[in-house]
Amino acid sequence: MRPQLADPKIERRIDELLRQMTLAEKIGQLVQYSATEERSAKTSAVNTAALNVNPPAPGGVDSFKLAEAGELGSMLNTVGQEITNHFQHAAVDHTRLHIPLLFGADVIHGFRTIFPVPLGTASSWDPELISALAHMAASEARTAGVNWFYSPMVDVARDPRWGRCTEGAGEDPYLGAAIARAYIRGYQGEDLSAAGSVAASVKHFAAYGAAEAGRDYNTTDMSEIRLRQVYLPPYRAAVEAGAATVMSAFNSLNGIPATANPFLLQTILRSEWGFNGPVVSDYTAVMELVRHGIALNGATAAAKAVTAGVDIDMMSHLYDAELPALVKSGRVPVGTIDEAVRRVLRLKFALGLFTQPFTQGSEVTNAVASHRPLARRAAEESFVLLKNGDAGESPLLPLPKNKKIALIGPLADNANDMVGAWSGANNFGDVVTLRSALMEHAQQNGTTLLYAKGSEISGDSEAGFAEAVSAARAADIAVLALGESSDMSGEAASRAHLDLPGNQQKLLESIAAIGKPVVLLVFSGRPLVLDWEASHVAAIMEVWFPGVETGPAIVETLFGDVSPSGKLTMSFPRAVGQEPLYYSQFPTGRPEQFPDPAHPGFVETKYVSKYLDVPNDALFPFGYGLSYTTFTYSNIKVSATTVSVAMLRRNQKAQPVNASATVTNTGHRRATEVVQCYVRILGASVEQPVRNLKGFMRVTLDPGEAKSIQIPLGFEELSFYGRENRPVVEPADYTVWIGGSSTAQQSAHFKMQ
């Protein structure tokens, strides 16, 4: 589904508008302001003199007056019926052309009913759930006048030092593409003009997640094959699913900032992928071209951005300041401006704003009661059980209901940090904390609950240690809620160290030394280094930042009403020095010496170089996650021993191979397994990773139940980017694994010839 209208009647209306518009009105469609901002103040903030931009009018022009003049196209983070209708009336009622405004906002994981951070929901491996969550957010936001989301973020992220990995789907392009499509379906639906739909803005184009050293905004540099094979697939999937808009990235790519990169914005996005919606810059990214060093002044920055393909200048205010003179001088063709305006107007028609510009009905201002069950389900599906008992010992989870529990940690009764980064309106009163949910559970089941905060998230004070140790001594089981604060991940939140912050590990060591069973709940927006914890704690569950239903979701999982089914979408390292770490490593010409065939990761580790002081593999690998039951895999097969290269080249929609397996629940609880299929290609003209994810599905089984599953493999799954930077299939040997993580061992084989 393409949301950009190709209706000839609409195109004729756009032509009529363009003929009537002045240059100032055209450029106005390409600029964005917030509700409270004055042009003079903002231009000053980006250093007018240093950028050599045209100065604003004396006294400044506020955004409302710009709307009244027909010189404003969109507004940022202007939320609420009253204020959006106020500005919309200015644009529609007080101007001669009556062109409505777009209202965009950073709605990342819920508008008022906040669900888990995207890295958490990705751990569900449940695209249908993610679509439902996206639709829920869109339906809530539309009641507040918001019609444009700067989401989803589809950057592949392989370095958890980068704080914005919390906003994406993790390290794998295949899974990332599936989740990107899910967000677009949920946000936009079948009709952008429907009351519950918003325009999506896929970000950040492109390769922002590969920032060097995990430092936000940092440069990226990679081969074109890696760019196309690893980093572009989620963007392309979103565009093919009908994404209405695309946001350019802050970073440079191979020396050219993404916001002035014709190869990305013109060659790939528009020419190859056929995208005809508007491209918006990230916040002040046009101005930042000066800081990148490829423009000496604001005029050059504006010229480079708009001619490269950035249609809307988000908050730099260089388009309205510089484009009039640039067009009049001929440095920027008026045709370039007209095409950019056409794309903006096309989106406004698609959203139905020309016929219904104003927001009506009841505005959603808090978490919606009827939406909470979906938010709770999302939290429960996002939890990843990393450990549950040591070898030879009985699992600690689920907890019995008649035990005395000590709840300890700075995140146990912390509403503010449960919503994570980009948490909408920050209505912390909507959050049910772990402590409050456990207290309710204890009252209903006769359980004794003791509580001690123990420590702060950051800092070195041990003032609360004694109380925490005392509570643990008096209890049968200690549940520790430790991890990051919500502002430790997200934009501009890179970390060089990935361990528990502050003195939380010291608190954990003090509790573990008592000898009582310990359950560690890890709250974070990224993978952390949990090497000591994995060796000294009986049970560990990654719960991310779960949103408004934090407490009930964790309690239901701890006590076995729900069996955890989440699987990691980013590898958890043993040490930060392993980063960037990802499962789909490439082989080397000097393999690890003396590989141990008994090692569970033998297929991977035997082909890669090694560290002297830590194993190569992840502590908890991609795709990994335990359950309260056990699953076995058998009968791994492929439906063909040979596949015709010529046939697949002729018919790229064919699915010539089915990979199949039997999955059995060998435990005593009904539960869901995420079945994963991985493929390796040997003998190709371009070196390929030791394995790549090429299929997955969620399967729910009763105790003792077995199910045969099939995963079709076609051109998308069997091709790779060749030396000409195009997807190809070649004669080669293929290995297919099916299992419960990226370390699955049972395989089948076929040849492409």
Q: Are residues 496 and 639 in the same domain?
A: no
- Pairing between β-strand 518-523 and β-strand 539-542 as defined by DSSP bridges: parallel
Does residue 451 contact residue 481 with C-beta atoms inside 8 Å? no
Structure tokens at 219: 């440069």
What is the pLDDT, as a whole number, of residue 46? Answer: 38
Q: Are residues 307 and 402 in the same domain?
A: no
| Cα maximum dimension of the chain | 80
What three-state secondary structure class fits 129? helix
7 is annotated as an active-site residue? no
Quick check: is 150 in a domain?
Answer: no
Quick check: is 174 in a domain?
Answer: no
Phi, psi of 721 (to 5 degrees): -85, 120
The tens digit of pLDDT for each residue in 111-122 reads 999 999 999 999
Distance CA 725, CA 227 (A): 10
What is the pLDDT, as a whole number, of residue 64? Answer: 93
Quick check: is 47 in a domain?
Answer: yes
Which residues are paired to 637 by β-bridges? 660
Q: Are residues 424 and 352 in the same domain?
A: no
Evaluated on CA atoms 466, 472, 475, 478, the torsion sign reads positive
Which residues, other chains included, contact 162 with Cβ-Cβ below 8 Å and sequence gap of 6+? 209, 211, 214, 215, 216, 494, 526
- Burial track 554-579 (b if 16+ CB lie within 10 A, e otherwise): bbbbbbeebbbbbbbbbbbbbbbebb
Going from the C-alpha of 151 to that of each of 147, 200, 300, the distances in angstroms are 12, 6, 29
Read off the DSSP letter of residue 296. S
Task: Please return the burial class of 58, using the count of CB atoms within 10 Å of its CB with bins 0-12, 13-18 and 19+.
Answer: exposed
Quick check: is 500 in a domain?
Answer: yes
What is the pLDDT, as a whole number, of residue 446? Answer: 87
Q: What angle do CA 332, 335, 338 make, to 5 degrees?
A: 110
Domain boundary among 507, 542, 558: 558
Does residue 394 contact residue 401 with C-beta atoms inside 8 Å? no
Q: Are residues 382 and 522 in the same domain?
A: yes
Q: Are residues 392 and 509 in the same domain?
A: yes
What is the pLDDT, as a whole number, of residue 715? Answer: 97
Number of domains within the chain = 3
CATH code for the domain in which residue 541 is found: 3.40.50.1700
- The domain in which residue 445 lies consists of 373-558
Which residues are paired to 631 by β-bridges? 665
What three-state secondary structure class fits 438? helix
Quick check: is 720 in a domain?
Answer: yes
CATH code for the domain in which residue 45 is found: 3.20.20.300
Q: Are residues 385 and 343 in the same domain?
A: no
Q: How far apart are the first and last CA of the chain?
A: 35
DSSP string of 34-58?
-TT-BHHHHHHHT-HHHHTPPPPPT
Q: Are residues 651 and 713 in the same domain?
A: yes
Q: Are residues 539 and 664 in the same domain?
A: no
Structure tokens at 292: 């990148």
Q: Are residues 659 and 717 in the same domain?
A: yes
User: Which residues of the chain fall short of a pLDDT of 70?
Assistant: 1-6, 37-61, 424-425, 591-608
Q: Are residues 381 and 493 in the same domain?
A: yes
Q: Are residues 707 and 746 in the same domain?
A: yes
CA-wise closest residue to 74 among 56, 53, 94, 88:
88
Tokens 């009556």, residue? 98
Half-sphere exposure of 453 (CA within 13 A, CB side): 11
Quick check: is 727 in a domain?
Answer: yes
Quick check: is 572 in a domain?
Answer: no
What is the pLDDT, as a whole number, of residue 56? Answer: 40
Q: Are residues 336 and 452 in the same domain?
A: no
In the set 106, 126, 155, 282, the catalytic residue is 282
Quick check: is 486 in a domain?
Answer: yes
Q: What percent helix, strand, coil does the chain show, rounded to 5?
A: 35, 20, 50
What is the pLDDT, as a whole number, of residue 248? Answer: 98
Distance CA 214, CA 193 (A): 39
What is the pLDDT, as a whole number, of residue 19? Answer: 97
Domain boundary among 360, 381, 402: 360
